Amino acid sequence: MKDNKDIRVVVGMSGGVDSSVAALLLKEQGYDVVGIFMKNWDDTDEFGVCTATEDYDDVIRVCNQLDIPYYAVNFEKQYWDKVFTYFLDEYKSGRTPNPDVMCNKEIKFKAFLDHAISLGADYLATGHYAQVRKTNGHYEMLRGADDNKDQTYFLNQLTEDVLAKVMFPLGDLPKPKVREIAKEHGLVTADKKDSTGICFIGERNFKQFLSEYLPAQSGEMQTLEGTVKGRHDGLMYYTIGQRQGLGIGGSGDPWFVVGKNLQANILYVEQGYSNDKLYSDRLIATDVNWINPDLVQETFTCTAKFRYRQADSPVTVTVLENGHVDVVFAESTRAITPGQAVVFYDGDVCLGGGTIDEVFKDDHYLDYVG
């Protein structure tokens, strides 16, 4: 067994409190810790100011407090090619993509992992709330101990060979404890606000951001029966189950997005939070990843999440010949959205996941969901 001091761990540091504490804990455990800041997006504004510069400055301060070396690496090109292009393509197809899942798959745990290995790292560590466990010779990914912060949903595309090289030092900690540790050690990031939203959009107006990259084509808002209820600003601005921003007033229950017709450029809306048209009981997912493929049976029951931070739902999964999965829900579920991830769990073990592609109700394909 190597001493911890002979084990090099590269920590992906964002300048936030989580990755700061991840580095601190590893340093306390005596590892050869190297902090690396990843820059994936050029957000330089018209005054030449870029939040990445300030975040990197925080990384420098924290690393100097911990007395570990720090460097930066640029993956703007890879991010654009692998994540942002996918993100735009999905919106063009009327779907609601999850760029964080793709970023973890293609950038953080691929390009960045390769970079860490090229620096002689034995492990890559991040501040994600998830856990790695070795069971019977297999590496498994478990939910983070803090239910509220568990991030395995975003990590569903990782594979066992990647997990073998990954550490999640915060996996067994509740978030408040992480802040407490940061405060105790006087880390400059202790009180830094958590980042919200999609990393490259940040605090900006989402609609405006998207309109800079994709042409918006306004069209009609209709009920599924064809009654025109108003106009929409472009299908890409709406997601299934959305209530805000429709601008349909009047009496009765509020209106919700239930689907889209890309060809005819129609946004479908129906009335009432629990409207039947928002519910489905089966889906097909593509781009399926199993963390431990050897352990997956053809048909099995487990639980699933269809959105981040949603409670688990019991499902029956059938692996199809083409590798896609057919997922039947024990209970019909609201606002299943194509483009989002469906992630499977056996208790605390994350089995993997896929991208929601088609949605069904009573064995009918819901073409209006898209």
Partner 1 sequence: MEQIYLDHAATTPMGKAVIDAMYPVYTEIFGNPSSVHSFGRKARQQLDGARRVMAKSIHANEKEIIFTSGGTEADNLALIGTAYGNREKGNHIITTVQEHHATLHTAEMLEKQGFDVTYLPVYEDGKIKIADLKEALTDATILVSIMYVNNETGVIQPIEEIGQLLADHQAYFHTDAVQAFGLLSIDVKEMGIDMLTASAHKVNGPKGIGFLYADETIPLQALQFGGEQERKRRPGTENVVGAAGFQKAVELVMEDKQQRSVRYQEYKELFMQALQENDVVFYVNGDLDSTIPSIVNLSFPGTNVETLLTNFDLDGIAASSGSACTAGSVEPSHVLAAMFGTNNACTTNSIRFSFGAYNTTENTKEAAKRVAKIVKRLTA
Choice among 50, 63, 103, 350 that is catalytic: 103
Instruction: Judge contact between 277 and 224, C-beta under 8 A.
Output: yes
Q: Write down the least CB distance from residue 53 to partner 1, Å.
A: 5
Choice among 50, 63, 199, 302 that is catalytic: 199
Q: Choose between 107 and 257: whose C-beta lies nearer to partner 1.
A: 107
Q: Choose between 188 and 285: whose C-beta lies nearer to partner 1.
A: 188
Please select the residue that binds partner 1; options are 72, 199, 295, 296, rule is CB under 8 A: 72
Q: Write down the least CB distance from residue 325 to partner 1, Å.
A: 37
Enumerate residues 6+ apart whose C-beta is below 8 A from 281. Answer: 328, 329, 331, 332, 333, 360, 361, 362
Using CB under 8 A as the binding criterion, the count of chain residues that bind partner 1 stands at 22
One-letter identity of residue 7: I
Q: Choose between 118 and 205: whose C-beta lies nearer to partner 1.
A: 118
Site for partner 1 in 321-350 (CB under 8 A): none
Contact call for residue 39 and partner 1 (CB under 8 A): yes
Instruction: Judge contact between 369 and 300, C-beta under 8 A.
Output: no
Q: Choose between 74 and 148: whose C-beta lies nearer to partner 1.
A: 74
- 20 to 185, 282, 316, 355: CA distances (angstroms): 11, 41, 40, 31
The residues pairing with 267 across neighbouring beta strands, listed in sequence order, are 221, 260
Contact call for residue 202 and partner 1 (CB under 8 A): no
Tokens matching residue 295: 């352990």
Cα–Cα distance, 90 to 84 (Å, whole number): 10
Site for partner 1 in 18-37 (CB under 8 A): 34, 36-37
Contact call for residue 200 and partner 1 (CB under 8 A): no
The window from 73-81, 85-93, 256-264, 300-308 that contacts partner 1 (CB under 8 A) reads 73-81
Cα–Cα distance, 357 to 305 (Å, whole number): 15
Give me Rg for the CA atoms of the chain: 22
Side by side, the strands of the sheet bearing 255-261 are: 228-232, 219-222, 266-271, 255-261
Stretch 107-126: interaction string toward partner 1, x if CB under 8 A: --------x--xxx------
Please select the residue that binds partner 1; options are 4, 64, 74, 299, rule is CB under 8 A: 74
Q: Write down the least CB distance from residue 51 to partner 1, Å.
A: 9
Q: Is 103 designated active site? A: yes
Q: Is 199 designated active site? A: yes
Stretch 52-71: interaction string toward partner 1, x if CB under 8 A: xx-xxx-----------x-x
Stretch 274-313: interaction string toward partner 1, x if CB under 8 A: ----------------------------------------
Enumerate residues 6+ apart whose C-beta is below 8 A from 13. Answer: 19, 20, 23, 35, 36, 37, 59, 62, 63, 70
Tokens matching residue 253: 């229950």
Q: Write down the least CB distance from residue 347 to partner 1, Å.
A: 39
Q: What's the distance, CA 123 to chain centroid?
A: 22
Please select the residue that binds partner 1; options are 4, 28, 30, 42, rule is CB under 8 A: 42
Backbone angles phi, psi at 247, to 5 degrees: 70, 25
Q: Residue 104 carries which DSSP code?
A: I
Length of the chain equals 370
Cα–Cα distance, 306 to 311 (Å, whole number): 9
Please select the residue that binds partner 1; options are 17, 22, 38, 315, rule is CB under 8 A: 38
Q: What is the CB neighbour count within 10 angstroms for residue 53?
A: 13
Tokens matching residue 33: 């810790």
Cα–Cα distance, 106 to 82 (Å, whole number): 7
Q: Write down the least CB distance from residue 362 to partner 1, Å.
A: 51
Contact footprint for partner 1 (CB under 8 A): 34, 36-39, 42, 50, 52-53, 55-57, 69, 71-74, 76, 115, 118-120
Active site residues: 103, 199
